[in-house]
Amino acid sequence: MKNPVPRVGSCVALVFVFSVLNANCTRSPHLTEYDEESNKQARSAPLVVVGVVDSDSRVGRPVPSRRDPNYPMQLHRARVKVENVLRGSVSERTFWVYYFALGAGFEGNRPLEFGPEASRRILWLRRDADVFRMACDGWDGCTMFVKSGAHPRYNPDPQKPLAYALADILLTRGEGKIDEIPFASEIGWGVPGQGLEGYLIGKLRTLALTESSAVKATACVQLWIYQQDRIDSSLRQQARDSLEAAHCVCSLNPDKNIACQ
């Protein structure tokens, strides 16, 4: 019986097909850095999720910035594990997202980056060139840190504006390990929600009643600000009632900072 003779042509063809498929799997998408107008519209992106970003790496070489050809922008690819969908819909629960990061020194606001440590954030996303990408490039106008833990059973009310879901996620203690100081800092930054002051006061009241130490103190500070703010008198009264119910003791320091306990 003769030994089988390999068909060289077929083997070469298979190697070629494998090489093409492999190249297609690893090829970077053709993306262009957003212009200023697109960055300004980041918070109107059609997809908003809460997710944990646990991997972030550079893709290719830096490219010239659209705003300054002498400044480099670096394309990144990050892995997102979706926990909640706050706006839009997505079938994948884990996917890669792309963005352009500042590629050299900078001065200004917080840059868009994720780094080596896992980070839970609210992410504003778009689809581009058949991939997900962040809704902003360079400066971070499309993520919010989530220090309140995971909220695995949370589903937003589709009839309400996104701001309600942001308040629910950021101002509600979730599950898992939660560092008190970052959680308190998150509360102190406040939640965007013009016209939702009554809802936010209610969330802060719950925190002031149920939390202790730094988290309670920060919730009390925010309530104190509301009772002094230029809002409807009924809302200021709601804030005052919440301060009294939670036994918040607040004072204005000589440096004009508010201290509560």
pLDDT tens string 108-119:
889 999 988 999
Residue 42 contacts residue 22 (beta carbons within 8 Å): no
On whether residue 261 sits in a domain, the answer given is yes
Both 154 and 111 in a single domain?
Answer: no
Both 125 and 162 in a single domain?
Answer: no
On whether residue 89 sits in a domain, the answer given is yes
Quick check: 126 pLDDT over 90?
Answer: yes
On whether residue 215 sits in a domain, the answer given is yes
Both 194 and 239 in a single domain?
Answer: yes
Please identify, among 145, 162, 183, the residue that sits at the C-terminal boundary of a domain: 145
Quick check: 72 pLDDT over 90?
Answer: yes
Which one, of 245, 246, 141, lies nearest residue 192 by Cα? 141
For residue 154, give both structure tokens.
Answer: 């949370």
On whether residue 7 sits in a domain, the answer given is no
The CA distance from 104 to 205, in Å, is 44
DSSP string covering 91-156, please?
Answer: S-SEEEEEEEEE-S---SS-B----SS-EEEEEEEEEETTEEEES--SB--SEEE--S-B-TT---
pLDDT of residue 27: 63
Both 158 and 209 in a single domain?
Answer: yes
Both 139 and 161 in a single domain?
Answer: no
pTM: 0.87
Domains identified in the chain, total number? 2
Quick check: 190 pLDDT over 90?
Answer: no
The CA distance from 146 to 171, in Å, is 10
Burial status of residue 9 (CB atoms within 10 A of its CB: 0-12, 13-18, 19 or more): exposed
On whether residue 105 sits in a domain, the answer given is yes
The CA distance from 76 to 98, in Å, is 6
Please identify, among 145, 177, 197, the residue that sits at the C-terminal boundary of a domain: 145
Count H helices and E strands in the chain, helices first: 7, 9
On whether residue 21 sits in a domain, the answer given is no
57 forms bridges with which residues in the sheet?
Answer: 77
* Domain interval for residue 102: 32-145
* Distance set, CA 115 to CA 79, 119, 157, 222 (Å): 11, 8, 32, 31
Both 112 and 192 in a single domain?
Answer: no
pLDDT tens string 129-177:
899 999 999 999 999 999 999 999 999 999 999 999 999 999 999 999 9
Quick check: 245 pLDDT over 80?
Answer: yes
Both 140 and 159 in a single domain?
Answer: no
Both 90 and 193 in a single domain?
Answer: no
pLDDT of residue 1: 41
The CA distance from 222 to 201, in Å, is 8
Cα within 13 Å of Cα(189), Cβ side = 15
Quick check: 9 pLDDT over 50?
Answer: no
Q: Which residue has the tokens 């929600």?
A: 193
On whether residue 1 sits in a domain, the answer given is no
More confident position, 188 or 2: 188
On whether residue 99 sits in a domain, the answer given is yes
pLDDT of residue 234: 95
Residue 78 contacts residue 58 (beta carbons within 8 Å): no
pLDDT of residue 16: 37
Both 260 and 155 in a single domain?
Answer: yes
Q: How many CB atoms lie within 10 A of CB 14?
A: 11
Both 115 and 206 in a single domain?
Answer: no
Both 224 and 198 in a single domain?
Answer: yes
Both 160 and 260 in a single domain?
Answer: yes
Strands 119-128 and 72-87: unpaired
pLDDT of residue 17: 38
Q: pLDDT confidence of 8, banded at 50, 70, 90? A: very low
Please identify, among 145, 164, 199, the residue that sits at the C-terminal boundary of a domain: 145
